[in-house]
Amino acid sequence: MKWSLSELRKFQNTAFTFEEHLSLEDVSNRQDVLDVSDIFTEGSIKNSGHEFYVDITIQARVKMVDSRSGEDVFYDLSVNSFETYDETLEADEKLEDPSLHPVLHELDLEPVIRELINVSIPEVYSESNELPDSSNTDNWNVYGSIEAYEKDKPVDPRLKKLETLFKTDETED
């Protein structure tokens, strides 16, 4: 997905629109991401002097390992982003804004698409609502509030004697 800047300048008063199905190899190097396929991008590029504004939507199907069951599952990814390419920036210049990119002769969206996909894939994903059998959660309790936890919280036997110091008139009945 590359366009020369001279080609994009032809659309000075209107937005250049694009729609494309991509096939990218090795999109993610994470071990739990098995494949990223059906990548579809669409968007528009607007030219404003030395800056090019890219409004992009990416949709992809991510095959990854379920965090709980270990099975292969599919995650439908959808990313919307607004990126700015600037001709006045140097290629090796350190930029604080991750959506700002230097551009010289051609605008290449592939590195940005790869990055957007990578940062949008969830770290943990599961289609199951239940914990696996081997999770050792037999003695776990789930509390709805801190008050419920505090009420059920066991008291350290070494501090049990101090409990009498905090009794109020209400609890002495």
Q: Is residue 125 part of a domain?
A: no
Tell me, what's the pLDDT at 20?
92
Task: Say if 127 falls within a structural domain.
Answer: no
Pairwise pLDDT comparison (124 vs 110), residue with the higher score: 110
Q: Tell me if residue 23 falls in helix, strand or coil.
A: coil
Tell me, yes or no, whether 115 and 66 share the same domain: yes
pLDDT at 15 over 80: yes
- Give the range of the structural domain holding residue 109, as residue numbers without chain letter: 2-120
pLDDT digits (tens, 9 = 90+) for 41-86: 999 999 888 888 999 999 999 999 888 778 889 999 999 999 998 8
Residue 172 is assigned to a structural domain of this protein: no
Kindly indicate the confidence band of residue 169, based on its pLDDT and cuts at 50, 70 and 90: low
Would residue 159 count as lying in a domain? Answer: yes
Q: What is the pLDDT of residue 57?
A: 95
Q: Which of 6-10, 43-47, 73-77, 163-167 is least confident?
A: 163-167
Same domain for 95 and 59: yes
Tokens representing 167 are 């009794």
Q: Are residues 82 and 150 in the same domain?
A: no
What is the predicted pLDDT for the residue at 140? 73
125 pLDDT exceeds 90? no
Flag whether 129 is in a domain. Answer: no
Instruction: State the average pLDDT over residues 145-165.
Output: 77
Report if pTM > 0.75: no
CA atoms within 13 A on the CB side of 51: 9
Mean pLDDT of 1-30: 85
Residues 156, 80, single domain; the answer is: no
Interior CA angle at 49 toward 47 and 51, to 5°? Answer: 60
Q: Are 121 and 75 in contact (CB under 8 A)?
A: yes
Same domain, 15 and 76: yes
Over the chain, what is the mean pLDDT? 82
**Number of domains within the chain:** 2
Q: Are strands 72-86 and 100-102 parallel, antiparallel or unpaired?
A: parallel
Q: Is residue 30 part of a domain?
A: yes
For position 62, what pLDDT does the model report? 92
In a domain, 32, yes or no: yes
Judge whether 101 and 63 are in contact, CB under 8 Å: no
Provide Rg for the chain, Cα atoms: 27
